[in-house]
Structures are given as C-alpha cells and as structure tokens.
C-alpha cells in the first residue's frame, strides 16, 4: 500500500519515504513507526500499541519512544511544537492527523536477481550450548541446570556475532556420552559450551567451559559458588557472567585463527576479527590499524553491518580521546552507523555505534535513546553500558552515570576497557563534587592502563579543585603526553555537555590545575 500526504509518498511495499520525489532516509524502526501511525490514522495509537507493534513488547524507555517519534516528525518536516502531522494526545498516545490518500502500488516486472555479495558466511563461527549436567544426584534438580543452559543460549543469541544452535538440537545430547568433536561435526559448530551444576543444601556450584572443537582445547573455564537465597537471581547472575565472558573469548580465538591465514586469503570476517583485537587495545597506533582493517572489510562487503558498526565506534572513540578531528570523521561515522542499523536494526552494536556518533555530535537525547536500545537488545553488552554511562554524565545525570559504569565493570570484570569504565565513574564523581572518590577512581583506571587520556583528565581537574598542585602538575604532564593537543579551547568545543555549568566546572578544574 502507498500513502500520499502533502508532498510525501510513503510506500509500504518498497519501504520508502519520498518528499517531492526525493528519497528521505529513515531508520527501519522509524519507518515502521511512521507506517503504523499512518495506517492507524483513524484512531489514537497508545504507547502500549506502539511498543507491541514496533518493539514486539520489549521493555523500552520513554526517551527511546520519544526519540523515534521525533525522528518521524523530522523526516516529514514536522516538529513537537507545531505537530502538523503527528499529534501528541496527552495521556492517550499519538495520532497521524494529515490528510492521506491511499493507493495500491503498481506491480512491476521482477528484476534480474542481483549478484550475491561476497560474505563468506561458511567461515563464520557457530556455537552450541549443551545442557548442563546435574551433579547433585537428584533428578528433580535437572530443571536448574537446564534453566542455566537455556538462559546462556538465549543471552548468546543476542550477541549476533555468531550463530547459536537452537535448544532442540543441542539438548538432544543430554545424558549421552558423546565426544565434543562428534557433537561439533553433527551440529556444524566450531565452539561448544558445556558445564555442570551441583546443589547441596542452600549452596550451588556451577562450572562452565568454552571448548574449541576443532582443536579440542579449552578456551575458557570458570567456577561459580553461590548461596541459593533467591534461585532466579542466582540463575540470572551466573548467566550474565558466563555470557559476558564467552563473547570476548570467541573474538580472541577467531582473531588468532585469522592471524594464521595468509594476508591474501583474508575475508571480511577475518579482517573484522583482526580489527577488533586492535580496537580493544586503545592506543593511537591500534586505532589507525583498526580503521584500515575495517575499511578493507567494508570494501569487500559494503553491507557488512558488524564491520560498519565497529568502524563508526572506532572513529568516535578516536574523537573522544583526541586522536581524530570531529568535523572530519563524524559524517563518515554517521553514514557507517546508519548503514549498520539498516543492515540489522536488532544488532546492539549498530545502535551503540549510532549512539556514539550522536554523543560526539552533541545530540545527547538521541545518544541516550540509542544506548538504551542497544542494552534492551543485549543487556550483557558491557561496551554499551560504558558508552551509556559516559553519555549520562554529559547529560547532567552523574548518579545514573556512576551506576551504569559500575554495571559495565560487573558485567565484564576482565574487560580490556575496564580502565575506561573506572575513568567514566571517576568523572561522574567529579561532576558530583566528590573529588576524593574521583581521584581514587582515576588512579584505579591508571593502574589498569597508564596511557589513557580520560583518567588523567579526571585526575587533573579533581586535583585542581582540591588544590593539590603536585598531583595536578603530574596529571597534566601525563595528559599532555597522551593527548598533545589538549587545551581549554579543545575541551570547551569538543566535549558534548548538555549544560554550561558542567562545562564551566570542568574548565575551572583545568584552570586550577594549570592548563592554559
């Protein structure tokens, strides 16, 4: 069906919005929302209706919903003040109020099939999660191990970096003595997650390990001992810990595999894995290396959403650390992030990447919405939690920022970005005028990584505010080493505060520290 209103044509079959014949770019979710509002224009559409229809009943924040409504209005040349086409009905919902003419789209002759894109999917990893073995000696306890296994399977499925075999296939091996290599061959997977559960009185011990079936080696193993005060809370806690630990282990294994290949045989997946290994190192040289590898991956496959996501995030990370100019890389990063969302609007990485672009370009409400969407899609995504914490600080919500940074640390206690999360938590405490805590967190960040600008920034401004000249001078010297272009002008113009008072507070800290 095609809908005409004002100078716009909304084509549901082609999934296209045009204005005066020119295509108007829209994120898939915004298009779906607009199409639903237009199709249901005879009535007021409630928030619950939209969440059910557009978000499949997932829990989303009001800011995420409002961001999509605002994006739909903006695409139509409408806004929240005039509400010419999309009207907000207080305490009721929304209604499309424009005059609409419906048309049936004219069928066209089928086009020649397009040439397949070189994705080399066969070489991407797949994972099977086996039913965890009940070691308690009580068959009635099987449910607990099965529940842990199912939750891990569901959590890994949200990662979208690898295929996860469905429960109906992987659970067929329950209670059978089958070698992992045979399981891998029969299911067509490279990695197998297995484990055991032992319950005794009010305690439970859960072991889990990730196996590389092609080599027979254990990539990762961990043991968890908990009190069973709340069974479901324990189950959630352990599931989140296991899921958060497994993804980086698979990335590391895939990167090792890619490095064993001759350069001429690398496909887009191999290039992405190599790029990620550089991305997580967080140095200026690795930043440039990651960018070059990601550009090669996108050159092989222009519709490779994951490579586009990491490319956008890499660009924006460079901006925040002072390694890249915002005006130069922001348009490229935004185009890559929007393309990633179009490729797969259910991919948490794509939304986190788009959020990082919005953050650096001072669109904080949109940034928070994208980070919240990423976390709704994958609650175990520690990087999105870290980005979210940073955006919350600059949005003037330091308490929420500190809590989000703490969640990022809990999700991934061995994360390569742990130093960054400590630095973000430190900045949140600085914003709250809790300078002693800010200094302690900045020092903890530096203990993990001594070459990151964020921690030295927090240390310098906090020391400046408490009048510790020796500490301020040391921090400022290290900051100039890691970010030679640091200046009051750079701080005032490059960092995206929502309000001037927070910016002036930060600048005053640097002035007292001795930055000119």
Write out pLDDT tens, residues 70-94.
889 988 989 888 899 999 988 889 9
Q: How would you classify the pairing of strands 126-129 and 191-200? A: parallel
Alpha-carbon dihedral angle through residues 327, 330, 331, 333, given to the nearest 10 degrees = 150
* Helix/strand/coil for 417: coil
Q: How wide is the angle at C-alpha 347 spanned by C-alphas 308 and 353, nearest 5°?
A: 45
Structure tokens at 512: 């007292």
Question: Is pLDDT above 50 for 122?
Answer: no
What's the confidence (pLDDT) of residue 460? 97
Report, as an integer, the average pLDDT of 250-269: 78
Looking at every residue in the chain, the average pLDDT score rounds to 86
**Spatial distance between the Cα atoms of 118 and 120, rounded to a whole number of angstroms:** 6
Question: Is pLDDT above 90 for 415?
Answer: no
Question: Is pLDDT above 50 for 164?
Answer: yes
Angle between the N-to-C axes of helices 418-431 and 500-513, in degrees from 0 to 180, rounded to the nearest 10? 100
Which range has highest mean pLDDT (20-29, 95-104, 112-121, 454-463)? 454-463
**Spatial distance between the Cα atoms of 112 and 314, rounded to a whole number of angstroms:** 37
Q: Which has more pLDDT, 107 or 326?
A: 326
**Range name among 40-49, 151-160, 313-322, 459-468 with the lowest pLDDT average:** 151-160
Report, as an integer, the average pLDDT of 466-487: 94
Question: Is pLDDT above 80 for 205?
Answer: yes
**Range name among 8-22, 251-265, 330-344, 428-442 with the lowest pLDDT average:** 251-265
Report, as an integer, the average pLDDT of 145-164: 82
Q: Which residues of 187-203 are buried (b: 16+ CB within 10 A; e: fewer)?
A: bebbbbbbbbbbbeeee
**pLDDT grade for 295, boundaries at 50, 70 and 90:** very high
The dihedrals phi and psi of 16, each to the nearest 5 degrees, come to -145, 140
What's the confidence (pLDDT) of residue 123? 52
Q: How would you classify the pairing of strands 133-134 and 191-200? A: parallel
Question: Is pLDDT above 80 for 406?
Answer: yes
Structural domains in the chain, sorted by start:
2-103 (1.10.10.10), 121-259 (3.40.50.10610), 266-513 (1.25.40.10)
Under a CB-based contact definition with an 8 Å cutoff, are residues 86 and 44 in contact?
Answer: no
DSSP designation for 113: P
**Range name among 65-79, 328-342, 363-377, 455-469 with the lowest pLDDT average:** 65-79
Q: Measured between alpha carbons, how far is residue 479 from residues 48, 232, 493 in Å?
A: 49, 45, 18
What's the confidence (pLDDT) of residue 105? 52
CA 99 and chain centroid, separation: 39
Percentage of the chain beyond pLDDT 70 is: 94
Report, as an integer, the average pLDDT of 122-151: 81
**pLDDT grade for 241, boundaries at 50, 70 and 90:** confident
What's the confidence (pLDDT) of residue 431? 95
DSSP designation for 141: G
Q: How would you classify the pairing of strands 86-89 and 133-134? A: unpaired
What's the confidence (pLDDT) of residue 112? 37
Helix, strand, coil shares of the chain, percent, nearest 5, are 60, 15, 30
Residue 10 CB neighbours (<10 A): 25
Question: Is pLDDT above 50 for 420?
Answer: yes
Structure tokens at 263: 């350069």
What's the confidence (pLDDT) of residue 342? 92
The DSSP bridge partners found for residue 164 are 127
What's the confidence (pLDDT) of residue 88? 92
**pLDDT grade for 414, boundaries at 50, 70 and 90:** low
**pLDDT grade for 50, boundaries at 50, 70 and 90:** confident
Question: Is pLDDT above 50 for 111?
Answer: no
């Amino acid at each position: 069906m095609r809908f005409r209103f004002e100078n716009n044509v909304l084509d549901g079959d082609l999934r296209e919005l045009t204005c005066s014949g020119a295509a108007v770019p829209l994120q898939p979710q915004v298009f779906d929302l607009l199409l639903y509002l237009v199709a249901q224009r005879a009535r007021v559409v409630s928030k619950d209706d939209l969440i059910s229809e557009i978000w499949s009943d997932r829990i989303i924040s009001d800011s995420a919903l409002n961001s999509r409504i605002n994006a739909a209005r903006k695409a139509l040349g409408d806004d929240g003040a005039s509400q010419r086409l999309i009207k907000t009905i207080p305490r009721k919902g929304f209604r499309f109020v424009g005059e609409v003419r419906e048309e049936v789209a004219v069928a066209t002759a089928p086009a020649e099939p397009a040439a397949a894109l070189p994705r080399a999917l066969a070489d991407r990893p797949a994972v099977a999660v086996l039913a965890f073995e009940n070691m308690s000696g009580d068959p009635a306890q099987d449910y607990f191990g099965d529940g842990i296994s199912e939750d891990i399977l569901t959590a890994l499925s949200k990662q979208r970096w690898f295929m996860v075999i469905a429960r109906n296939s992987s659970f067929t091996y329950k209670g059978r003595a089958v070698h992992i290599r045979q399981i891998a061959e029969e299911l067509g997977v490279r990695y197998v997650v297995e484990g055991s559960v032992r319950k005794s009185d009010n305690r439970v011990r859960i072991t889990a390990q990730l196996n590389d079936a092609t080599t027979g080696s254990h990539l990762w193993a961990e043991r968890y001992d908990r009190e069973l005060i709340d069974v479901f809370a324990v189950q959630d806690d352990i599931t989140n810990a296991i899921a958060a630990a497994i993804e980086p282990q698979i990335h590391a294994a895939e990167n090792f595999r890619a490095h064993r290949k001759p350069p001429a045989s690398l496909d887009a997946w191999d290039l992405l894995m190599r790029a990620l290994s550089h991305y997580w190192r967080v140095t200026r040289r690795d930043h440039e290396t990651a960018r070059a590898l990601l550009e090669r991956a996108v050159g092989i496959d222009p519709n490779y959403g994951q490579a586009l996501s990491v490319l956008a995030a890499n660009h924006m990370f460079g901006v925040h650390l002072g390694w890249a100019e915002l005006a130069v890389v922001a348009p490229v990063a935004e185009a890559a992030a929007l393309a990633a969302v179009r490729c797969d609007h259910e991919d948490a990485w794509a939304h986190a990447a788009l959020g990082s672009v919005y953050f650096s370009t001072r669109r904080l409400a949109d940034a928070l919405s994208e980070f919240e969407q990423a976390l709704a899609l994958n609650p175990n995504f520690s990087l999105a939690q870290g980005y979210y914490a940073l955006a919350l600080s600059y949005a003037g919500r330091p308490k929420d920022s500190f809590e989000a940074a703490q969640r990022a640390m809990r999700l991934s206690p061995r994360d390569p970005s742990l130093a960054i999360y400590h630095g973000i938590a430190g900045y949140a405490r600085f914003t709250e005028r809790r300078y002693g805590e800010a200094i302690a967190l900045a020092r903890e960040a530096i203990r993990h990584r001594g070459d990151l600008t964020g921690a030295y920034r927090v240390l310098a401004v906090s020391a400046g505010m408490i009048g510790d000249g020796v500490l301020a001078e040391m921090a400022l010297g290290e900051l100039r080493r890691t970010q030679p272009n640091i200046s009051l002008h750079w701080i005032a113009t490059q960092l995206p505060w929502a309000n001037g008072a927070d910016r002036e507070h930060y600048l005053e800290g640097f002035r007292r520290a001795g930055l000119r």
